[in-house]
Chain A
């Protein structure tokens, strides 16, 4: 159906307007007027158009293009299938569990959490689950305030910004540090309330290191059960990181020489399993540095050829172990 009636009204017209009507603060004419004044949210057809379905397919395709992440891909496929089947069940008048898509992502930095979250937003929008599908990335400092009342204001602001899409709280475990008096606790409570109130058009993702997230969840009993989707992001293997590096380079119209690849491989294998090993982010930094070093190396040449302009040599890689 074009218009799934089982959804809550504020998904379509904004919670404030809905609240004013429910409180009897405004009548029909004022409500209609405010509706016309509200921010444009684009065509509101609930059933995804062909264009949106194509966007969902593209997001899924891009996800599958990502190196590694096999567990993540499987989970996302399950979510997609669940949404699709839910629609078909609805068409057959079968009971559907309400879709709750709040998630916990645990893993080291640079393991693909943000990238996956962005793609999920696009996927959910394409499937008609989220109206906008954008990603708002925040961390503790964006949510937690300095004085009483400040946290509520800051957190609500971010939730509002993420409405229709996803709120991605990086290093979410840091909300749990500082004990009971800390304002972080208040932010957590507000987020929990938001995920209940707006669950029809808002997805909350808490992300952070596996160990820290686990103890954060242990300290906040009842929190874990509100996140039906929990995905662990393992560190990339050296081979996967090498593949990522090659892909990143290709996108920028560069490529590694054979010697450069071997050097990078040696370096990455050596650092595997190290604490604070920052995965894909590390690879990107190495690549960006290599690009700058190559430029410096070539700037002394007369007229470097196309091949030279593309190739990153072993000497460009600043990966000597310190």
Chain B
């Protein structure tokens, strides 16, 4: 079976680095990916290191595009597509150039089986936090209604100075815990993999999917 996971979040949340490093963690030696922007699609193959160089960080190439990394696996889950979405724009009203990006991101969300919302826990801006909480509420409701798996990850957990327990308790959405993730140290990767495999098993068994976390 195949699963697609859309990784969403605001700009700089760590979506791209997560996709690349998680693909590598899942065993991808080289990354096959496709990029969509302005109605065009291109496909290519890169090493994980090359992809990090090219794609991670602000102002990097392809920050406004929809990028899909495809990881081929053995076992019941045969293929995992990691969709590195264009950032969720925080500005309101939306500037013109961000509108089609948002549309692309929502398209990816609608097409995916599993949604991972990344929230940068090293950033403590209250306005930013409020944005994330509201986005999380809607996404979780949407996923529940559509039978998609939903997961919120607190990214860049390696940068936390306070004890991670404090963050783990943060009541984000309906009492859900924040799964701490670091794409640098690999913290939380095993748990994400477990949840994906669990999700794959659930849908293979035909049971309705659910919000996890």
Contacts and interface: CB of A to CB of B under 8 A. Distances in A.
Interface residues of B, number: 49
B92 A46 contact: no
B92 A6 contact: no
A5 to B, nearest CB: 4
B8 to A, nearest CB: 9
B145 A40 contact: yes
B178 interface: no
B138 interface: yes
Chain A facing B: main interface SS: loop
A29 B103 contact: no
Interface string B97-112: 0011011101111111
Contacts of B103: 9, 13, 18, 21-22
Interface residues of A, number: 38
Contacts of B147: 42-43
A22 B138 contact: no
A28 interface: yes
A223 interface: no
B135 interface: yes
Interface in B82-99: 83, 88-94, 96, 99
B148 interface: yes
Contacts of A26: 94
A36 interface: yes
A32 B4 CA distance: 19
Given A27-B91, A29-B135, A2 B146 contact: no
A28 B83 contact: no
A99 interface: no
B36 interface: yes
Contacts of A30: 92
Given A12-B107, A18-B103, A43-B209, A1 B93 contact: no
A43 B206 CA distance: 12
A118 B93 CA distance: 44
Interface string A2-38: 1111110101110001100110101111111101100
Interface of B: 1-4, 34, 36, 41, 43, 66, 68, 70, 79, 81, 83, 88-94, 96, 99-100, 102-104, 106-113, 131, 134-135, 138-139, 141-142, 145-148, 203, 206, 209
